[in-house]
């Protein structure tokens, strides 16, 4: 699968948080080497050199040349361990400096949104700009888990 083809498959449903409907590509290009998405099926596309999986169940295989970091998070009404979120965001930033990087959870909305937004913030974007960018590039349903969004907006206050 070529990078241009990565947006042709879609995931749709209703997110638990706020009964938010979504219809999104399996993968969305955010900027530069950063991609965000849902869980691949069967095999991870070879185009991704680095994969950061935040999903606990992965029904896909990894190519031997891909670097895979698995750190399951839960999409719930509390923030996961903050040190872990920061470590994952720094990991994403290091990976994307070296190659095409996918950050994914199940649908690619909340957990991947939390880590991707923080990675963008650590790279210099304001929280508002990072969240807006993810919603514009992926879906308005990104960070419909308001606890995650609120944490990103207020984490240093």
- The 10s digit of each residue's pLDDT in 19-28 is 888 999 999 9
pLDDT value, residue 62: 80
Question: Angle at the Cα of 107 (from 114 to 144), degrees rounded to 5?
Answer: 50
- List the domain boundaries for the chain: 25-154
Average pLDDT rounded to a whole number, residues 78-96: 95
Separation CA 112–CA 89 (nearest Å):
10
Q: Write out the two tokens for 16.
A: 């638990």
Q: Per-residue confidence at 5, pLDDT binned at 50, 70, 90?
A: low
- Asked if residue 51 lies in contact with residue 104, where contact means CB atoms within 8 angstroms, the answer is yes
List all residues 6 or more positions away from 132 whose beta carbon is below 8 Å from its beta carbon: none
Q: What is the mean pLDDT of the chain?
A: 90
The DSSP bridge pattern shows strands 67-70 and 50-53 to be: parallel
Residue of higher predicted confidence among 98 and 74:
98
Buried b (16+ CB within 10 A) or exposed e, 60-77: eebeeebeeeebebebee
Give the helix/strand (H/E) hosting 119.
Answer: helix 111-122
**What is the architecture, at CATH level 2, of domain 25-154?**
Alpha-Beta Complex (3.90)
Which residue reads 């930033």 in tokens? 93
Separation CA 15–CA 69 (nearest Å):
25
Separation CA 111–CA 76 (nearest Å):
9
Report the share of the chain in percent with pLDDT over 90.
63
Average pLDDT rounded to a whole number, residues 43-68: 86
């Amino acid at each position: 699968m070529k990078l241009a083809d990565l947006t042709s498959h879609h995931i749709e449903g209703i997110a638990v948080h706020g009964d938010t409907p979504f219809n999104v590509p399996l993968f969305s290009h955010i900027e530069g080497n950063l991609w965000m998405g849902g869980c691949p099926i069967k095999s991870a596309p070879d185009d991704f050199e680095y994969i950061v999986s935040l999903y606990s169940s992965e029904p896909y295989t990894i190519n031997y040349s891909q670097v895979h970091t698995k750190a399951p998070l839960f999409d719930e009404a509390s923030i996961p361990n903050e040190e872990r979120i920061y470590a994952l965001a720094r990991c994403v930033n290091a990976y994307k400096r070296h190659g095409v990087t996918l950050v994914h959870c199940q649908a690619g909305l909340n957990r991947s949104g939390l880590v991707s937004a923080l990675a963008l913030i650590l790279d210099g974007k304001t929280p508002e700009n990072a969240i807006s960018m993810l919603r514009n590039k992926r879906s308005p349903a990104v960070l419909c888990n308001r606890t995650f969004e609120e944490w990103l907006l207020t984490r240093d206050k």
